[in-house]
Structure 1
Amino acid sequence: MLLSALLMSVGINSCLCVLLFILYSVLRKQPRNYEVFLPRRLANGTYKRRRNKVARYIPSLKWIWKSWRPTEKELMESSGLDGVVFMRMITFSLKVFLFAGIIGVFVLLPVNCFGDQLTVIDYADWSANSLDLFSVANLKVRSQWLWVHFGAIYLVTVFVCCLLYFEFRYIALKRIEHFYSSKPKPEQFTILVRNIPSSDGSSVSDTVDRFFGENHSSTYFSHVVIHRTSKLRSVVDKAKKLYKEVKHKKPVKKTPMRFFSRKDNTEGHYESVLQEMEQNIRLGQAEVSAPGKEVRAAFVSFKSRYGAATALHMPQSINPTYWLTEPAPEPHDVHWPFFSASFMQKWLAKILVVFACLLLTILFLVPVVLVQGLTNLPALEFMFPFLSLILSMKVVSQIITGYLPSLILQTSLKVVPPTMEFLSSIQGHICHSDIQKSACNKVIWFTIWNVFFATVFSGSAFYKLSVILDPKQIPLKLAVAVPAQASFFIAYVVTTGWTDTLTELFRVVPFMVSYIKRSFEPSDENEFVVPPMRYHRDTPRVLFFGLLGITYFFLAPLILPFILLYFILAYIIYRNQVYMTHIFYSFSFLRALELRTQLCFAMQFMNVYAPKFDTGGMFWPMIHYTMIFSLVLMQAIAIGLFALKKMELATYLLVPLPVFTLLFNEFCRKRFMPIFTDYPAEVLTKRDKEDRNDPTMPEFYNNLVSAYKDPALLPLRFSGSGSRNDSLTSPLLSFSEV
């Protein structure tokens, strides 16, 4: 790719970013758009409507300065530890690429430019130069300047590992701190028990009560037996949907001409339908709750956290296949359809998910091959000779090679996160947070394989299976194939990174949906949905750009400014304040960056997203392992590159580097992962002692009895007996607990 094609891509995406910035600054001030850009603040009642009509149409950046006020504690309270982890991931990436960017731009890039392996740089016409002239490929074999790259690889590896250690330690300590500061939660006192053995003449409830009453008499508190409610839940969902439709219908005004109109019977018709559905729901609840209809599983609650932890980790029976225990999720996080599926259905679903992921991986090769065809203009002219005249136009060729391939790949990737979320939902997870983590993991590795490796392999001779299966040849082939795709990934960062981040700010799809809905039906200011944060979509995207930056920082340092600008945009849009740490860094510019990061907070967390669940920072190990993989991949490519450049000593000196990186990862895993798996006994007992003097604990225990009751089994109350005129404005159905 020529530098002119890259500049064309940068120009197009820069214009799009500026346009989205201006549109957001204006449209977010319009009252009709509050439900799109400020749904969470509207739901919390913390946003005042503007009275100055003129100021609403003047673009301003005040929203950026206002986003600097909140603290990390406020972020923790509003978005949980998962929100803090997401923000720290962006800050971590900023620190890494600020450090790597200084080395890459001011040290490695000049070294590459003054090489003469390919050709001499045309300083008179910069745009006509190939991007390969700015990469390590421009250095000759056995060039002594390669030792500069060798030192940079070691320096960045040590720096990233130090940051990973401090971040892992900080998140682990923050997890304990979050546990201490949080109020008592049902999931802290509850476990899920499965494979409850059948007992003659006893129901599942009696069996559970007798077993835990005998074996955990001092700590056992209560239990809730689980029922199969998938069919009943569908009826309840239909009733809720019908109620929302009725609520949004405008009542017909009584006029002499409309007094006897048939439309007047609409209210009574909907009310009768809701009454009938409520009756069916009550009958279904009675049928599901009948003896013999239970699932052989129950949520068992204890009087203390330590008692729940003891029961969780202790074998309950001589037969290890009975009384299986696992941690209970948050009550609103439970994925109830999981319990309605049989063992065979769950087993078949897992196999189906594996084949579906493989099929999706194969199908995704189609846009990858198409993208590679567009980046190779001579091959495109050979395959489609009738396009030669159009492709000969300079502007068209620059758009096709510089902008269009990344746009096609970006559009194709849009379907991956929701698809992986659906596949994870049928895989057999008991809670929505596990579904999100599973989907996030799938999207990460799908993106790494299909966007990075498939793109690299499709542009080289790496198709040969014999090469792939030969481990000794992999570093050498990667060293040839990966630098060849540097220009494509630079354009990919600009197109996907910059524009996607601004699209996240502008919320293009929700804005269009809201506009279309307002055109066909009246809007209700009190009826809007506060969206949850989609970690399975945003986390893999940030991590993939981190992988590109780490992999290409010494191969093509020109990519670093674009990646750094991407993280700055993400920093402004997602965050407001994230970093309050006591970690000491010996680099003065990192201290300055740390002070700046104390001022920033996630605009989208405070204004748009509301947490649907909180895993307690369980996304961080996934982030840590992905960064370790990125380091090892970079080191493997470096070993192959130095072998190709005939730098035998440098090659041998680099071999221990991935070994040390993996040993460091193993140290972090054994040092910090136990805190993410279970809370220590001293932490649990300390909280239990504090609860003894808590006056709110009796009320908490009363609520704990019914905390894990299936929402489909909660009673319904029909309240449509009001006057005919307000029957559509008052709630017809309300769901409440006993």
Structure 2
Amino acid sequence: MELLDLATSAGINISLAILFLVLYSVFRKNPRNAGVYNTRQMLRERRKEVKREPFSLDNLLPSPGWLVRAWNPSEDEILESAGLDAVVFLRIFKFCIRFFAICTLVCCGILIPLNYNDTYIADHPSGKAGEDGTLEKMTILNISEGSSRLWFHLAVLYFISFTAYILLYLEYKNIAMMRQAYLMSASPQPDQFSVLVRGIPTPNEGETYSEKVEKFFIEFHPLHYLSHQMVFHSAELEILLKRFDKSKARVSTLKTIPLDKRKPCRTGFLGLYGPKMDPLEYETQKLEELYGMIRERQANIYNRKEELPAAFVSFKTRWESVVAAQTQQSVNPMLWVTEWAPEPRDVDWNNLKIGYRQLLIRGILAMVTATLITLFTAPVIGSIQLLANVDNLTKYLPEPIVKVLFEIPGVKQVVQGYLPSILVVAVLYGLPLVMYFLAKMMGRVSVSRQERKTAGMVFNLLAVNVFLVGVLGTSIFQILDTYSSDPRSIPRRLAEAIPSKAYFFMTYIMTTGWAGFPLEILQFSVLLLNYSKRLMADRSRPLLSDVWSMQYYRQVPNVLLFILLGLTYSIITPLLLPFLLVYFILGYIVFRNQILHVYEPAYETGGQFWPHVHVRIIASLVFLQICFIGVFTVKGLGTGTFYVIPLPILTLIFNEHCRQRFFPAFRHFNMESTVKKDQADARKGLQEDLWDSIRTAYLHPALRPITMEVTGKPNAESLLPSTSKAV
């Protein structure tokens, strides 16, 4: 890839970024877009109507006010507003900014001059000697074999490794302390006192699951057992509840329309026949019918005893819930299986219908399917990679088309510099949703666990299809062409091919980050949805029927992929690091804005994503160190290879220390904290009130009381207070 190709990609992505940011700066000033760009504030103020303001030219001019609005709040304010998960997500970006800023200064300041002033490419005409404008001279590829300059690369490798150890340790320590402080200061919540019980044995004749659960826990937890809530078969009732909610929403909307503007509707099928009625009266009748049907079905569920072998069991103290959640309840480990209960809003009630013994089979099937998707996507991504080199592409296109197409000014630069990255982004865009479906299929009972599992599968997908295929895919075909004539040159040719692929990753970083983050803040699809809903209803209303939450399973794997790219190429191709640093800085600013003003937390796990991130950064660091065992071997620095070997071992020892020192804080809830909080509640006299709220916290959604009252603000009523404990 030539410098002109890279400049073309940068020009396109920077132009798109500026366009998206300018549009956002203008659109966010329009009060009608408040439901898109200021959703959280509107929900908290319970506002639905938009105050009309006089027209002003200032509203059509872009301004940087949103940057100040996103930058000013402190970390404590974000913690109070959005929870610890959001803070940890932003701290991932802060860690990357610190780490890669140090790497950029060292690698670009030391290694690029060393690489550029060597002569390997000029001395090997079969390599890149004829490409005076190429960027390969700035890579380790231009270092001569056996050169003493390679010792500087070894020193930088050690420097990067130990910098990573220090920053990772400090970050893990700080997040673990934040988690402990957050859990200690959080208000009492039902999930702190409850466990999920699965694998309940089949009841005896004349006995129900509910009676069996009560009998078991009264016998083995007699002093602290409080209550339990069973899980039920409720598919038909859930359908009726969805229809009921939609009918309430329609009634709410119709009440805002004056009588003289409501057109009569026919009551037959799809409004095609039947007598005409006032639509409000007709919808109210339907709402009353659904209300009666739902109350009848709710009573029938209890009468028919449609219970499932799963229950939420609550205790009087946190201490007893810790004992129950973290111990084996039965001689048979497959029976009376307990785990921490997710917070009520985090529960996936449909997955509780899955039998406990099915989980292993479902997990295997989901992982096999995810692996097959990853492998079947690889050829598609590899084919797209051919576009990154027009010389490769011309081998597969008719000669007349090649001559006509690439004689057009700028076409070659766009094809090589921009087209491959945007096509890769398009191909991979929908796959995280597929992986999320597979994570649900595994039977995990909380949405947060599903997202963490999805994030792991998506990272594997990106690491294989973007990184490995990008590095090795097209290179292997080129290397196999010369296998018969010069098989001994394969390691050297592979080593030459890897640095050259860094420039595709630079364009990929610009496409997903430089242009992608401004598109994220613009919320273009939500903006269109807001506009279309205003056209179909009252134009003075903002969009408040859809409250969006952060898709961690989509964003976290992307960050992890770029950490892998940054570590791998930090020494091989240091020029990639400034591109990556801009990515993390822009992402940090954009997501601060989104977390503060747009996304409503769907759950709170107390920072459970950090161990997931930490272990994958460690894996990326080990990969970098192993790569340099091969690099120094190919470059003829055998002694340097010997000095690299201890690094992967040291990294694994460091990871094990962090796992033993910090990970238990994310996996368990310690006795010391629980007892102190229980004692504090007892001193304040809060226990009776707590027990009353805990008894109904895990009532099955299909059995919760319903009301026909239409408040006019149904969307605002769905807000839940932030909770504290992770599962």
The TM-score with structure 1 as length reference comes to 0.88
Structure 1 residue 365, shift from structure 2 partner: 2.2
User: 2: CA distance between counterparts of 1:128 and 1:290?
Assistant: 83
- Distance in 1, matches of 2:492 and 2:330, equals 55
CA distance in 1, matches of 2:114, 2:136: 13
Aligned to 1:173: 177
2:6/2:417 contact within 8 Å kept: yes
The unaligned stretches of length 5 or more in structure 1 are 466-472, 575-601, 721-727
Deviation at 1:650, TM superposition (A): 0.4
Q: Which residue is equivalent to 2:550?
A: 533
Question: TM-score by structure 2 length?
Answer: 0.89
Counterpart mapping for 1:169-568 below 5 A: 169-197=173-201, 198-249=203-254, 263-342=276-355, 349-385=362-398, 386-388=400-402, 389-461=404-476, 479-523=495-539, 524-525=541-542, 527-568=544-585
Task: Indicate the residue corresponding to 1:76 in structure 2.
Answer: 79
Q: 1:347 Cα deviation (Å)?
A: 5.6
Matched, 1:615 2:620: no
Distance in 2, Cα, partners of 1:54 & 1:40:
27
What amino acid is the match of 1:160?
A
TM-superposed CA distance for 1:298, in Å, is 1.3
8 Å Cα contact 2:346/2:603 also seen in 1: yes
On the 8 A contact 2:502/2:573 being kept in 1, the answer is yes
Q: In the alignment, which residue of structure 2 is the partner of 1:19?
A: 19
In structure 2, give the amino acid aligned to 1:489.
F
**Higher mean displacement: 103-112 or 199-208:** 199-208
**In the TM superposition, what is the alpha-carbon distance from 1:250 to its structure 2 partner?**
7.3
Amino acid at match of 2:216: F
Q: Aligned-pair distance for 1:646?
A: 0.4
Cα drift, residue 519 of structure 1: 3.1
Amino acid at match of 2:556: T
Query: How far does residue 247 in structure 1 lie from its aligned partner after superposition?
Result: 3.3
Q: How far apart, in 2, do the equivalents of 1:259 and 1:137 lie?
A: 77
Distance apart, 1:127 and its partner CA: 10
- Return 286-295 or 369-378, whichever deviates more: 286-295
Read off the aligned partner of 1:635 and give its amino acid letter: Q
| 182-191 or 277-286, larger mean C-alpha shift | 277-286
Name the residue aligned to 2:270.
none
Matched residue, 1:699: 689
Aligned residues of 1:639 and 1:655 also touching (Cα < 8 A):
yes
Identity rate of aligned residues, in percent? 33
Find the residue that maps to 2:303 and give its secondary structure. coil
Alpha carbons of structure 1 residues 315 and 369: separation in structure 2 relative to 1, 3 Å: closer
Separation in 1, partners of 2:245, 2:495:
58
Residue 59 (str. 1) matches residue 62 (str. 2): yes
* Matched length: 691
Residues 735/77 of structure 1: CA separation in 2 closer, same or farther (3 Å cut)? closer
Q: Which of 110, 113, 121 in structure 2 is aligned with 1:110?
A: 113
Distance in 2 (CA, whole Å) between partners of 1:95 and 1:570 is: 14
Letter in 2 for 1:15: S
Per-residue displacement from partner, 1:404-463 (whole Å, max 9, x unpaired)?
A: 000001111210222211221121011111111111111111111111112222122289
Q: CA deviation at 1:609?
A: 0.8
* C-alpha contact 1:228 1:340 (8 A) present in aligned 2: yes
Structure 1 residues 120 and 24: alpha-carbon distance in aligned structure 2, compared to 1, 3 A threshold: farther
Once the two structures are TM-superposed, the CA of residue 608 in structure 1 deviates from its matched residue by 0.4
Over residues 569-593 of structure 1, what are the superposed CA-to-partner deviations in whole Å (9 max), with x where a residue is unaligned? 112212xxxxxxxxxxxxxxxxxxx
Amino acid at match of 2:687: M
The reply to whether residue 679 of structure 1 matches residue 694 of structure 2 is no
Distance in structure 2 (CA, Å) of the matches to 1:257 and 1:265 = 7
SS at match of 1:192: strand
In terms of mean alpha carbon deviation, does 702-711 or 516-525 score higher? 516-525
**Structure 1 residue 343 displacement after superposition:** 5.4
CA contact (8 A) 1:28 1:37 kept: yes
**1:476–1:641 CA contact under 8 A, matched in 2:** no
- Paired residues of 2:28 and 2:37 also in contact (CA < 8 A): yes
- Once residues 410 and 257 of structure 1 are traced to their aligned partners in structure 2, the CA distance between those partners, rounded to angstroms, is 46
Counterpart contact for 1:190–1:301, Cα < 8 Å? yes
Distance in 1, matches of 2:493 and 2:197, equals: 51
Q: Which runs of 5+ in 2 are unaligned?
A: 125-129, 267-274, 481-488, 720-727
Q: Structure 2 counterpart of 1:240, which letter?
A: D
Q: Tell me which of 638, 653, 678 is aligned to 2:643.
A: 653
Q: Report the CA distance shift for 1:439/1:258 in structure 2 as closer, same or farther (over 3 A).
A: closer
Distance 1:435 1:664, change over 3 A: same
Q: 2 CA distance for matches of 1:111 and 1:702?
A: 70
Equivalent pair of 2:194/2:315 in contact (CA under 8 Å): yes
- Going from structure 1 to structure 2, the CA distance change for 1:571 and 1:354 (only over 3 Å counts) comes to closer
Per-residue CA shift, 1:676-709, capped at 9, x if unaligned?
1112211111111111122443222111100000
Structure 2 counterpart of 1:627: 617
* Alignment partners' CA distance in 2, 1:163 and 1:260: 66
Q: Distance in 2 between matches of 1:211 and 1:680?
A: 25
Shift of 1:52: 6.9
Q: 1:286 to 1:379 in 2, by over 3 A?
A: same
* In structure 2, C-alpha distance between the alignment counterparts of 1:573 and 1:252, rounded to whole Å: 39
**Is the CA contact (8 Å cut-off) linking 2:514 and 2:583 kept in structure 1?**
yes
What RMSD, in angstroms, separates the aligned Cα atoms of the two structures?
3.0
Measured in 1, the distance between the counterparts of 2:600 and 2:684 equals: 29
C-alpha separation in 1, matches of 2:247 and 2:261 = 30
Deviation at 1:479, TM superposition (A): 4.2
Distance 1:103 1:285, change over 3 A: same
For residue 539 of structure 1, report the CA deviation from its aligned partner.
0.9
Preserved contact between residue 38 and residue 607 of structure 1 (Cα < 8 Å): yes
Of residues 306-315 and 264-273 in structure 1, the stretch that sits farther from structure 2 once superposed is 264-273
Contact 2:197-2:311 at 8 Å conserved across structures = yes
Distance 1:481 1:249, change over 3 A: farther
